[in-house]
A = this chain, B = another copy of it.
Amino acid sequence: MEKQKLSVKNSITDYIEWLAQYGASADGGVTRLLYTKEWMDAQLAVKTEMSSFGLETRFDDVGNVFGRLSGTQSPDEVIVTGSHIDTVINGGKYDGAYGVLAAMLAIKQLKETYGAPKKTLEAVSLCEEEGSRFPMTYWGSGNMTGVFSVQDAGEPRDESGVSLQSAMYENGFGKGVFQSAYRTDISAFVELHIEQGKTLEMSGRDLGIVTSIAGQRRYLVTLEGECNHAGTTSMKWRKDPLATSSRIIHELLLRSEEQPDELRLTCGKITAEPNVANVIPGRVQFSIDIRHQHQHVLEQFHEDMAALINGICHQKGIRAMIDEYMRIEPVPMDERLKAAAFETAAENGISCEEMVSGAGHDAQMIGRCYPACMLFVPSRGGISHSPKEYTSARQLEIGVRALTDLLYKLAY
């Protein structure tokens, strides 16, 4: 028998704790992977809760849940707000969930205070953003924007070999029973999210207004040299790909410091073969992840990086292969929405600042097609994707207030 879920919920914090029971892990984390039982239970619970708020609720054909409050003057201009319901494995309670719950609560409060809006408001609980079960991300917002469709579900498989399609079918989605996820009626998308960094914590401000979601490029660099005996091989004849990798990573980081604004460069992964203390490696692979809000900065760095790697490797007799396996262009947030968000914060005396989001979000996918904006609240220690994820009740409330007032400004 399922344990009784929390039923009395007054604050955003109560709602966070309530939703965190679906897929709760022993150490206070949450695991809700797309189309699993925990995920479906949570999505159904969200839908029921939205209904209890007096919103018209529905699933779409990939399992996104909407709670709609129709507009009286321009019902076809829809202002959508929300985030995603899925999590990484043993993630935190706030990532995604906060934006979904804050959206529901904001619309509930607007409805109770002001009645029906002029334009339609919709809270959305997007089915998937993290890419933690299947090797793809943004399944919910990607289907809404037409980047993906249910026809794309045949290929991707989870670790046990289950296809996205069969997992989707098992939950009743993807068969046309529900309305297609594809939308053409969105006039604005607003996503409230935890920062997942510590910019706000360090500045002491309560709200981040995102100007742009950084573009990302990811590379796997493979260097092939000559595997040899550490004792008998003279330094002058070595073709040592780990020595060369170290120099490249060091020089790329120095180069990144010279970039305008902040280019973030991370080498997170490195492997050497055979990886034995007394053997000069024959082959080393390392990853490079670069992020920046300006396309031209990423482009120029890409060029410089390739020249630097090839130059050093040529000099050292090392064969270099650079595989760019991910490229996501920067997405600027909508100017009008950003301005409205700043006004709202000012009217409410909320301390805020502009910031770039280094992480990807649904607003990035939707922002390519529709006006979008994002609001951030602080994350303690910048920690995310961990049971240690935490934002205080006060900071969560400030975020909900900013969202509520922004939606009022846009829809009433």
Interface residues of chain A, those whose CB is within 8 Å of chain B, are 195-199, 202, 214, 216, 218, 220, 228-235, 237, 240, 242-243, 245-250, 253, 256-257, 262-272, 275-281, 287, 289, 291, 357-360, 382, 384-385
In the complex, the answer to whether A233 meets B264 with C-beta atoms within 8 Å is: yes
Tallying the copies of this chain within the complex gives 2
In the complex, the answer to whether B382 meets A230 with C-beta atoms within 8 Å is: no
Closest to A265 in B: B235
**Set B195, B247, B269: member contacting A232, Cβ < 8 A:** B195
**Set B250, B256, B277: member contacting A287, Cβ < 8 A:** B277
In the complex, the answer to whether A271 meets B266 with C-beta atoms within 8 Å is: no
In the complex, the answer to whether B268 meets A232 with C-beta atoms within 8 Å is: no
In the complex, the answer to whether A264 meets B235 with C-beta atoms within 8 Å is: yes
In the complex, the answer to whether A246 meets B250 with C-beta atoms within 8 Å is: yes
Q: Is the interface of A mostly helix, strand, loop or mixed?
A: mixed
**Chain B residues near A240 (CB-CB < 8 A):** 266
In the complex, the answer to whether B358 meets A229 with C-beta atoms within 8 Å is: yes
Once A249-B242, A266-B280 are accepted as A-B contacts, the answer to whether A232 and B197 lie under 8 Å apart by CB is: yes
Once A202-B237, A246-B245, A249-B242 are accepted as A-B contacts, the answer to whether A231 and B291 lie under 8 Å apart by CB is: yes
Once A245-B246, A277-B287 are accepted as A-B contacts, the answer to whether A232 and B358 lie under 8 Å apart by CB is: yes
- Rounded to whole angstroms, the CA-CA distance of A128 and B129 in the bound complex is 58
**Set B199, B218, B278, B382: member contacting A266, Cβ < 8 A:** B278
- Rounded to whole angstroms, the CA-CA distance of A272 and B269 in the bound complex is 6
**Set B198, B264, B270: member contacting A270, Cβ < 8 A:** B270
- Rounded to whole angstroms, the CA-CA distance of A198 and B232 in the bound complex is 8
- Rounded to whole angstroms, the CA-CA distance of A124 and B199 in the bound complex is 70
In the complex, the answer to whether B279 meets A268 with C-beta atoms within 8 Å is: yes
Closest to A249 in B: B246
**Chain B residues near A231 (CB-CB < 8 A):** 196-197, 214, 216, 264, 289, 291, 357-360
**Set B250, B256, B269, B384: member contacting A229, Cβ < 8 A:** B384
Closest to A262 in B: B235
User: In whole Å, how far is A204's beta carbon from the nearest beta carbon of chain B?
Assistant: 15
User: In whole Å, how far is A316's beta carbon from the nearest beta carbon of chain B?
Assistant: 11
25 CB < 8 A contacts A-B: A196-B229, A196-B231, A197-B229, A198-B237, A228-B382, A229-B358, A229-B385, A230-B264, A230-B291, A231-B357, A231-B358, A231-B359, A231-B360, A234-B262, A234-B264, A235-B257, A235-B264, A240-B266, A243-B253, A245-B246, A266-B277, A266-B279, A268-B272, A268-B275, A268-B280
- Rounded to whole angstroms, the CA-CA distance of A256 and B256 in the bound complex is 27
In the complex, the answer to whether B276 meets A232 with C-beta atoms within 8 Å is: no
Closest to A277 in B: B287
**Chain B residues near A357 (CB-CB < 8 A):** 231-232
- Rounded to whole angstroms, the CA-CA distance of A263 and B235 in the bound complex is 8
**Chain B residues near A359 (CB-CB < 8 A):** 229, 231-232
- Rounded to whole angstroms, the CA-CA distance of A278 and B137 in the bound complex is 14
In the complex, the answer to whether A268 meets B246 with C-beta atoms within 8 Å is: no
Q: A232-B382, A246-B253 are in contact. List 8 more A-B contacts (CB 8 A).
A: A231-B264, A231-B360, A237-B382, A242-B270, A243-B253, A266-B278, A266-B279, A268-B280
**Chain B residues near A278 (CB-CB < 8 A):** 218, 266, 268, 289
User: In whole Å, how far is A259's beta carbon from the nearest beta carbon of chain B?
Assistant: 10
In the complex, the answer to whether A233 meets B358 with C-beta atoms within 8 Å is: yes
In the complex, the answer to whether B199 meets A234 with C-beta atoms within 8 Å is: yes
In the complex, the answer to whether A275 meets B270 with C-beta atoms within 8 Å is: yes
Closest to A247 in B: B250
In the complex, the answer to whether B230 meets A242 with C-beta atoms within 8 Å is: no
- Rounded to whole angstroms, the CA-CA distance of A266 and B238 in the bound complex is 10
Closest to A231 in B: B358
